[in-house]
């Protein structure tokens, strides 16, 4: 199931995009779950996770660009497609790294092209969803790498692995972990921690916070390197998006 949001203050436009998605779903045998919102504030209040968001730039109240900036603080994974009456807004929209943009009025083939790109993107990234085997205390433990938020070394060759809502105890050292994960998404901001940068929410002085509320210290001597690594990661993420 692919989750899509449509955020537009024009109900006719919402219906037009829904119809195009429905036709694509039927012709390609792909299931979509579509949620619609009449303003940016409602989209932000939903706190739902989406694979794709069709976002009108010129809405009453909070406009689409401001909505996108705030939405990115909630969900970094969703692909944003800006929808606009004026092609010149497309250039402005790139400041918030879109997946694509659609100029009104549009034909269904334009939405089909967006959905083609989305399904291809999701398929390619699903293939990159590496599963690693760790040494659990009760035997081998298999975890999806992208679902891991934090590794914390607790001493005596014991590591706590944090996912969104679970914790696991494994054996080894953080150097063992780094040699195993082989991923540019992970960084060590402190000698006792490895963090998945995909799940960093914010940085406050010498503490970073993951999107599920885990607090991780950033060592003063590692602060500059951490900022450089995180900046590199964000730039690569924007370029891929």
pTM: 0.57
Mean pLDDT rounded to a whole number for the chain: 87
Helix (H, G, I), strand (E, B) or coil at 54: strand
How is the chain split into domains, by residue range?
2-127, 131-240
What SS3 string covers 155-199?
ECCEEEEEECCCEEEEECCHHHHHHHHCCCCEEEEECCEEEEHHH
pLDDT in tens, 162-195: 998 899 999 999 999 988 887 778 999 999 999 9
Task: Quote the CATH superfamily of domain 131-240.
Answer: LytTr DNA-binding domain (2.40.50.1020)
d(CA 203, CA 216): 9
Say if strands 79-84 and 52-56 run parallel, antiparallel, or are unpaired.
parallel
Q: Does CATH place domain 2-127 in 3.40.50.2300? A: yes
């Amino acid at each position: 199931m692919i989750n899509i949001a449509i955020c537009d203050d024009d109900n006719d436009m919402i219906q037009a995009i829904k119809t195009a998605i429905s036709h694509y779903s039927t012709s390609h045998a792909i299931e979509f779950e579509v949620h619609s919102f009449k303003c940016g504030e409602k989209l932000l209040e939903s706190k739902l996770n989406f694979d794709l968001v069709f976002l009108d730039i010129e809405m009453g109240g909070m406009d689409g660009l401001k909505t996108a900036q705030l939405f990115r603080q909630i969900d970094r994974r969703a692909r944003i497609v800006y929808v606009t009456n004026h092609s010149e807004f497309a250039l402005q929209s790139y400041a918030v790294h879109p997946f694509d943009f659609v100029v009104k009025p549009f034909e269904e083939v334009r939405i089909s092209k967006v959905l083609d790109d989305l399904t291809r993107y999701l398929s390619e990234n699903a293939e990159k969803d590496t599963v690693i085997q760790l040494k659990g205390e009760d035997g081998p433990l298999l975890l999806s790498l992208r679902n891991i938020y934090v590794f914390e070394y607790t001493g005596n060759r014991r590591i706590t692995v944090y996912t969104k809502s679970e914790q696991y105890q494994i054996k080894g050292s953080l150097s063992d972990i780094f040699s195993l994960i082989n991923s540019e998404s992970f960084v060590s901001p402190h000698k006792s921690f490895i963090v998945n940068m995909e799940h960093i929410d914010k940085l406050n002085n010498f503490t970073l916070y993951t999107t599920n509320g885990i607090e991780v210290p950033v060592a003063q001597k590692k602060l500059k390197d951490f900022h450089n690594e995180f900046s590199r990661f964000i730039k690569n993420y924007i370029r891929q998006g």
